[in-house]
Structure 1
Amino acid sequence: MYPWSKRTLFLGSLPEPVQVAYGAATLVVSLGGAIFFSAAKGSVRCHSFVIPAGLSVTIDARSEVVAICHLDVLGEDYLRISGCLRGASQGVGIELREEADFKAEFTALHSQPVSSDDACQRLDRLLDYAYANGDSTSSIDGRITQVVARIRQCFQENLPVGTLAEVAELSVPRLVQLFKLQTGVPIRRFRLWHRMYESVISIGRGENLTTAALDAGFSDLPHYSNYFCSMWGVPPSRLFGKGMQARIVLPSERDIP
């Protein structure tokens, strides 16, 4: 797993179907055969798809190795990559036009892991190339950028929405509306999502699950596990517990908020 402040990349297998509701738009690419997802009725078979932030989806990778890339929380990646897809089903974008290039790069990273900075640069180039061949434009509201920055700075605190509205110089109802429009998730959901990112950084530094959960602002390990499972589809102990082989490649210090 490569956790960065802007994006996160997981490379590995999913032996069992998982129901997820990620806190950021997420690109999923199979490095082998076709995989399945379902967001409503029936399963869709494809090799790559993009899940909007907050949408509940069941992923059945049939034990194939997959790349799961959580895109930037402000939604710019999602809006731009939407123009690089061949279609949509059940609210999920399917089949990247540049799928072979994504598969080749992710396969290389999986077979021969590299440093965090190197992997980040490769992913940036890959996304830039795909965007150049897409047909969507995007924009980011600077006021929401400020709110996201404040939440990241104070991730252990439950800052009142009113305080965040003051940061953005917006009314509370307008902030709530704009934040969901920009990121795809409510403020509380994003706060939890970022706390999980912070917990992964702590685990990568050698902390156990309990310490990582507390340091990230969760009240205790059960609450952390419940929220983690609701978003990732598996408890954190399945990924990072004792005896697990998950490897976290930490970003350079300058990339950690």
Structure 2
Amino acid sequence: MTTENQVVAAGNNVPAVVNASNYIALAIQAKVEGFLAANEGLDLDYVRMGSYLKISKKGNFVESHDDTVSYGDNIDVVVAKAEKRWTLWGAEKSPEEGQLIVADRDEAVAKANLENWLANNPDAYERYSIDDLQLRLLAYIVPVRANGQVMLHPDQAPTIYLMSFAQGDTFGFGQYAMSIFDGKYKTIGVAGGTGANKVVTRLTTEERDRKGSTDTFLGIKFECLGVFNPADYGIEIQG
């Protein structure tokens, strides 16, 4: 018998029957806790070990370690969990490009870790400083549809990605979550007071102008598609 806070695993971390609609959040919890339990005593950080999604130069959502895995310029996901972390990624065209150098909840810890990393990589002093640390939203996202294909199935473990939102997108996601809470999407069946982790969100890349410059950059547009319902994907729910 299951409870609201349990996920029953069938086979390879496949959530089977749950007694709540927060299937995605519980599936993520099960995977993270399973990973940490299996590696108990090794002091591994799921945030550093997890698979990341990033925006390519072409404006597509791609896997950070294999950009041949591309989902195009939009992807429908559930943003099930998010946390703010002081973050530094390797600079473009640097030896550390694509590398997560620092990702810590506490600013003082992040600074100390960056200083330690620089001490062990003295050639990087010319590329990075403490001022490069940014407070970013780290989101746990599960794709439900991409490239015209359904990605969530009852007999497969959900694909779970981490995505580090840029500062502008961190603020933008907060505004989006507030618009959901305020009832902006009532016309599509999303009641006011709903959390952003209870809906399907379409992430779309868009080109933006940088203030005071002719340069442009890529950001993310957030669009609510409706309340996430596991049954829409053939996932059995009790209760």
TM-score interval (norm. to shorter): under 0.3
Higher strand fraction: Structure 1 or Structure 2? 2
**Higher Cα radius of gyration:** 2
Q: TM-score, normalised by structure 2?
A: 0.26
